[in-house]
Amino acid sequence: MNDSLARRVVAITGAFGNLGATLARMAAAQGACLVLIDQTASAMPSSPTRLVLSGIDLTSYADCEEVARRIHEHFGRLDGLVNVAGGFAWESVQDGAPHTWDRLFALNVGTALNASKAVLPLLLESSAGRIVNIGAGAAAKAGLGMGAYAASKSGVLRLTESLAEELKDNGITVNAVLPSILDTPQNRDAMPDAEHDRWVTPAQLAAVILFLLSDAATAITGAGIPVTGRV
């Protein structure tokens, strides 16, 4: 077994979705203890190596502070945070609603900001603090109907860059992955005629995230790393 994350405590937001669940499984295989955070309810029990926090509203900073308190209570430490939680909407400006922009900023930028800020005191005590955010390749150029989503994911990248500068002298790295279309059941249903084998799988994206959490990536911070498959 690859135990590159042995004795590390890693928190994952959006832990019960396609990417979050895959990342959690792969991180556990590398020896990590996990904090699984999601708004969705779960019957999965906590254990000495796993803290399950369901029903969490990451757009609420108070909820994120409670998450940090529970992590400290259960593990006494935190070494990594992966901000997977987010949202998507396809909507043109002409036919869409202005509040969609507010909603996607809250779901994408707000959740990453709240979670990161709340757990910073724990990460600052780690000898290998890591934050990895999920951006999007679409942040570089918005297509039709992608304005709100692309703008919010661009905000995630700006947050990543700013926080990396803020924390670089504290030994904490902050990076973002910028995936293209993920090969999930939902995306296949939405685009049945696409060439699905050209998309990025959750496992492929998770592998890049795990690298950024590892000691091998100590010298990388403030980066937005494209993970685009063959799209």
What CATH code is carried by the domain that includes residue 112? Answer: 3.40.50.720
Q: Which range of residues forms the domain containing residue 46?
A: 9-227
Q: What is the dihedral of CA 167, 170, 171, 173, to 10 degrees?
A: -10
What's residue 185's pLDDT?
Answer: 84
Cα 33 to its chain centre, rounded Å, is 17
**Residue 3 maps to a domain:** no
Confidence check: pLDDT of 71 > 70: yes
Report d(CA 100, CA 11) in Å as an integer: 28
For the question of whether the overall pTM of this predicted structure is more than 0.85, the answer is: yes
Nearest CA-CA partner of 84 in 122, 159, 136: 136
**Residue 190 maps to a domain:** yes
**Residue 187 maps to a domain:** yes
Secondary element (H or E) of residue 190: helix 185-190
Higher pLDDT, 103 or 196: 103
**Residue 57 maps to a domain:** yes
Confidence check: pLDDT of 115 > 80: yes
Q: How many domains is the chain built from?
A: 1
- Please say whether the dihedral angle defined by the alpha carbons of residues 84, 85, 86 and 88, taken in this order, is positive or negative: positive
**Residue 148 maps to a domain:** yes
